[in-house]
Amino acid sequence: MPAASLDVKNLSAGYGPTIVLEDVSFSVPPGARLSILGRNGMGKTTLLSTLMGMNRRYGGEILVGGKDLSFLKSSERARQGIGLVPQTRDIFRSLTVEENLIVGIKDRPRSVIQEAYDMFPRLFERRNNLGWQLSGGEQQMLSTARTILGRPSVLLLDEPLEGLAPVICEELMAAFTRLASSGEMTILLVEQRLESALDFAESVLILERGRIVWQGTSEALRADHGLVEHYIGVGSLH
Ligand SMILES: Nc1ncnc2c1ncn2[C@@H]1O[C@H](COP(=O)(O)OP(=O)(O)OP(=O)(O)O)[C@@H](O)[C@H]1O
């Protein structure tokens, strides 16, 4: 599936009776990258899981390539091109790396697993290891690779660097950047590490208490220390 545009219009969502996201609207052109920033608990994960159809939507629309997916359940949204790599790094802990990847290929031939190994050579080295035997970074690579093998046109990455050593973060960010440069996917990145988020994406939005409080270019945000300190935290930019 080629990269698709994502248009989110007046989205409100939450959990049971609790509204978390309110009136969220933004657009990402096909093949572009957007970083989503905000302090803890401001609704970033909720935004991604709502796009994936994993929690309650109260109103608004989610269009991928112009097609409204709002009323579809999450498995159907996955078929229509949305792929989420969750913060929890969902992998099957009792399956090998290769078996985990086989789950991700859906109806594509087995040979496509090589794409995952090309992206993360470390996974090839560990292909016969079980999920629980992997380091945090390797689990993140596996979770990402599994989602990517499903060829999403819009990829959602939820805090992929959380808790990982700097050298692994660099390896992952390089892989995400290569993926983005291929132009095959539109990518949304939720990331607490501000520098990584700004380096990755040309555009940024900031969430505060479930609302978008700022949208603009990474360049503009990088230049505005006052804005960063106000919405994200003192000392976030180095
Ligand atoms: N399953 C849930 N049920 C009820 N409320 C929830 C649930 N998950 C999250 N929330 C609430 O929704 C709000 C937004 O949480 P969310 O995890 O989306 O924020 P976040 O910006 O991703 O934060 P973090 O960086 O800590 O992951 C918080 O007030 C949180 O307590």
What is the enclosing helix (H) or strand (E) of 169? Answer: helix 166-181
Q: Are 127 and 98 in contact (CB under 8 A)?
A: yes
Instruction: Please indicate, yes or no, if residue 79 is contained in any of the structural domains.
Output: yes
What pLDDT is recorded for position 16? 87
pLDDT at 236 over 70: no
Instruction: Please indicate, yes or no, if residue 136 is contained in any of the structural domains.
Output: no
- pLDDT > 90: percent of the chain: 74
pLDDT at 185 over 90: yes
Residues 6+ apart with CB under 8 A from 112: 105, 149
Assign residue 56 the CATH number of its domain: 3.40.50.300
Instruction: Please indicate, yes or no, if residue 171 is contained in any of the structural domains.
Output: yes
18 lines ligand 1 (CB under 6 A): yes
Residues 6+ apart with CB under 8 A from 13: 19, 20, 21, 46, 47, 50, 55, 56, 57, 58, 60
Structural domain count, the chain: 1
Distance CA 171, CA 174 (A): 5
Q: List, for residues 30-53, the tens digit of each pLDDT value.
A: 999 999 999 999 999 999 999 999
Domain span at residue 57 reads 6-90+146-231
Residue to probe by mutation, ligand 1, list 12, 20, 84, 161, most atoms within 8 Å of CB: 20
Nearest CA to ligand 1 atom 4: 15
What pLDDT is recorded for position 235? 60
pLDDT band for 126, please (50, 70, 90 cuts). very high
Amino acid identity for residue 164 in this structure: L
Closest CA to 174 of 200, 145, 155, 207: 200
**What is the CA(12)–ligand 1 centre distance, in A?**
14
Nearest CA to ligand 1 atom 29: 41
Instruction: Please indicate, yes or no, if residue 181 is contained in any of the structural domains.
Output: yes
Considering only residues 235 and 214, tell me which one the structure prediction assigns the higher pLDDT: 214
What pLDDT is recorded for position 89? 84
pLDDT at 10 over 90: yes
pLDDT band for 201, please (50, 70, 90 cuts). very high
**3-state DSSP assignment of residue 97:** helix
Nearest CA to ligand 1 atom 6: 15
Instruction: Please indicate, yes or no, if residue 178 is contained in any of the structural domains.
Output: yes
Mean pLDDT of 125-151: 94
Mean pLDDT of 131-154: 93
What pLDDT is recorded for position 238? 58
pLDDT band for 101, please (50, 70, 90 cuts). very high
Instruction: Please indicate, yes or no, if residue 47 is contained in any of the structural domains.
Output: yes
**What is the CA(90)–ligand 1 centre distance, in A?**
18
Q: List, for residues 62-88, the tens digit of each pLDDT value.
A: 999 999 999 999 999 999 999 999 988
Instruction: Please indicate, yes or no, if residue 121 is contained in any of the structural domains.
Output: no
Mean pLDDT computed over every residue of the chain: 92
pLDDT at 127 over 80: yes
What pLDDT is recorded for position 17? 87
Instruction: Please indicate, yes or no, if residue 14 is contained in any of the structural domains.
Output: yes
pLDDT at 106 over 80: no
| Angle, CA 153 vertex, CA 8 and CA 178 arms, to 5° | 115
